[in-house]
Structure 1
Amino acid sequence: MTSVHPTTGRHLSAPAPADRLLLTTLRPAVVVFDFDGTLADTSTLNTDAARATLADLGLTVPEPWLQDAPLADIALLRQRLYTGLNLRLPCTDGEFVTIAQGHWLTRSHQVREIPRVTAVARHLATTVPAAVASANDGRVVDAGLAAIGLAALFQAVVAREHVERLKPDPECYLLAAAELATEPARCLAFENTDEGVTAALAAGLTIIDIRATTWSAQTP
């Protein structure tokens, strides 16, 4: 069954029967979604923004290196640039984030939703509170959610600037649960990376790894 989003005009799919059955079995009190690669396909956009930012800083890197670079963790990116390419990032971490954010925001119209997950998000958000826990910048997450018509769906967005430690540290998931005044054990998370799965489990959340063809719940 599909409907049409009143703002974007996109056709919205209902969750698959197997996904609905799993969610009915789990009965979470709160749902928490990762953003990049979970709700939204942003891989090309993230890479393009990083490439443009490095170019602004006078740095050119091999494309295969860029494809595998840790773009969410600027401190680690700085380290990899030096150890792998003998390049130094001529700015602070905050300055890099600001420049990259500008490039990303000008391209935010390129964001595409991941239909299986967004169908579940729209379904669940009609019955339980929902949050986003992302390693990306808050303005980027907000713009991406708006681009795919999900901006009004979430009661809380936890982003890079809200935490001291990024995934796989559990801080972002603990904060998301706290923002919605719910014990982590009653929350269900959706993730698409090993770091994200580790973070959610360490925080005490049940997790669905969306990379699996058949979804199942992992518990701490």
Structure 2
Amino acid sequence: MKSIGSYVIVILAICSLAFYSFSTEKISVAKNYNLSEGLALNYHAVNDSVDRNHAKALNTDIESTFSPNLGKTYVGFKEAVGFKESRGNYFTVNTLGYLGKYQFGKETLKIIGIYNPVKFLKNPELQEKAFLANTERNKWILRRDIKNYVGKKINGVVVTESGILAAAHLAGPGNVKKYLRSYGAVGFNDAYGTSVAHYMKKFSGYDTSFVKPNQKAKVKKV
């Protein structure tokens, strides 16, 4: 019996050592594994006066709001525009009747093939497709201006393709053409005081090469 008891004690000791070794290894791996490695994701507060006016129109508390920064990729670009327009809220309607995350007007939606604003407001996937289609269309309309003005400085701001496309989302491509071709003499401000120049600066330097110019860009059915 004494011999059997000794064997049991030895076996228990071996099991305890194995369990401790495994647990220590797991803790070590967990400490060394960086969950954010490789991700260009962080958050920064937005506090400029134009954003405050826009947030007020959307009944948003800007002091508790943060903007996602996904780097200078196309995803970063569209998310930054969406955050500026609505704080990323797919289901909001502003005081002027602009809809969704990217604050589309009903007439613009018709141009890209969307005729049911109620359905549009309830469908985030449709809104994402609408943003891409509208940006493709604007890039086609402004293709010569992108070629002629990118890299030049207007009103102290270096013109970039992403700045042009963001401004076109705000003001329409026609107003952006006037702004560029007048070298900033002919400006545009929306109802909340946001200007073409502001968007040119705020959305400068994103990689929008993903967006292909498309004269007939339409949203396919979701």
Both structures adopt the same fold (TM-score exceeding 0.5): no
Q: TM-score under structure 2 normalisation?
A: 0.24
Q: TM-score under structure 1 normalisation?
A: 0.24
Task: Work out which of the two has the higher radius of gyration on C-alpha atoms and give 1 or 2.
Answer: 2
Which structure has more relative contact order (CA 8 Å, sep 6+)? It is: 1
Query: Counting helix residues as a fraction of each chain, which structure ranks higher?
Result: 2
